[in-house]
Amino acid sequence: MKIKDTVHFQWYKTLFVAALLALCLFGSIRYTQADFGQLAGNISQVSVFLRKLANPDFGYLGRLIDPMIKTLKMSALGTVLGVLLAIPFAFLATTVVTDNPVVTHIFRFFLNIIRTIPNLLLAALLVAVIGIGEATGVITIAIFTFGVTSQLIFETIETIDMSPLESAMAVGANKLKIAVWAVWPQIAASVLSYAFYAFELNVRASTVLGYVGAGGIGVKLNEALGLFRYERVFMIILFIFAVVVIVDAVSEAIRRRLR
């Protein structure tokens, strides 16, 4: 028997999927009233914009160091607060610890709500309530970190070895002692790895959060864009890129050692 005799290429299914995707694309274009002709007509503006960005103001670098340090401080503090808050909630969001499906579902529902709030929306709301500054950025990052790491932690808890828990229950340990002495030692390295991962995300996010008034280098970016100082904009982008690359490399090296 030849190979071609064992392969059943159902071309009509592929054609149906392609036609469905094309129909969805056409419907989206009609519904959003996208004008690709106008886009093509303004393509020359791209080269104009890129020419303005092509001359970074390296003399502006000295004025970016302090805002970047504030951005890193915001990210670090927000990450620590978010992880510390996420740990007890994650324990309560798993039946491995609570042994109560009702409690678990209540906490998971709460965590799902927290994760649905976009960073920029949360930052804008907190700016309106608290005001412009680094404190708003720290709180925003802490809430974002709380939502992300809490899910990662409770999913890790559900995959642990149950033998230490059974041994602890056999000698009469309560829920708190089981969580501290039987669960936590198994997930401690993972939690620390998640914290560094969240810090990576937060360094990137904090630069954008500052754009809506949450402090840090994003404020400088907003200021440069508002004044059409594109040479400064490009310098800020280059500086952010360099810092993010360094943070990612250091974080990845630490997480590899924790595995």
Contacts with 80 (C-beta within 8 Å, 6 or more apart), sequence order: 195
Contact 190, 156 (CB under 8 A): yes
Alpha-carbon distance values, 197 to 61, 135, 148, 184, 210 (Å): 27, 22, 10, 19, 20
Mean per-residue pLDDT, 159-167 = 86
Residue among 42, 17, 217 at smallest CA distance from 134 = 217
DSSP state of 259: -
Better-predicted residue by pLDDT, 134 or 111: 111
% residues pLDDT > 90 (the chain): 14
Mean per-residue pLDDT, 241-257 = 85
Axis crossing angle, helix 230-258 with helix 44-53, rounded to the nearest 10: 80
pLDDT for res 214: 67
**Taking CA 71 as the corner, what is the angle to CA 65 and CA 72, rounded to the nearest 5 degrees?**
90
Instruction: Say what the pTM is.
Output: 0.78
CB-based burial label for 15 (10 Å; 0-12, 13-18, 19+)? exposed
Q: What is the pLDDT of residues 104-129, one digit of tens each?
A: 899 999 988 888 888 878 888 887 88
What residue type is 154 in one-letter code?
F
Q: Parse the chain into domains and list their residue ranges.
A: 3-42, 59-258
Per-residue pLDDT band for 253 (boundaries 50, 70, 90) equals confident
Q: Is residue 44 predicted with pLDDT exceeding 80?
A: no
Q: What is the pLDDT of residues 60-83, one digit of tens each?
A: 888 888 888 888 888 899 999 999
- For 97, how many CA atoms within 13 A lie in the half-sphere containing its CB? 28
- The fourth-level CATH superfamily of domain 59-258 is MetI-like (1.10.3720.10)
| Cα-Cα end-to-end distance for the chain | 48
pLDDT for res 213: 66
Per-residue pLDDT band for 9 (boundaries 50, 70, 90) equals low
Contacts with 103 (C-beta within 8 Å, 6 or more apart), sequence order: 92
Question: Distance between CA atoms of 32 and 24, rounded to whole angstroms?
Answer: 12
Better-predicted residue by pLDDT, 206 or 198: 198
Mean pLDDT computed over every residue of the chain: 83
Alpha-carbon distance values, 172 to 92, 169, 214 (Å): 20, 5, 49
pLDDT for res 4: 53
Q: Is residue 147 predicted with pLDDT exceeding 60?
A: yes
Per-residue pLDDT band for 149 (boundaries 50, 70, 90) equals very high
Q: Is residue 50 predicted with pLDDT exceeding 60?
A: yes
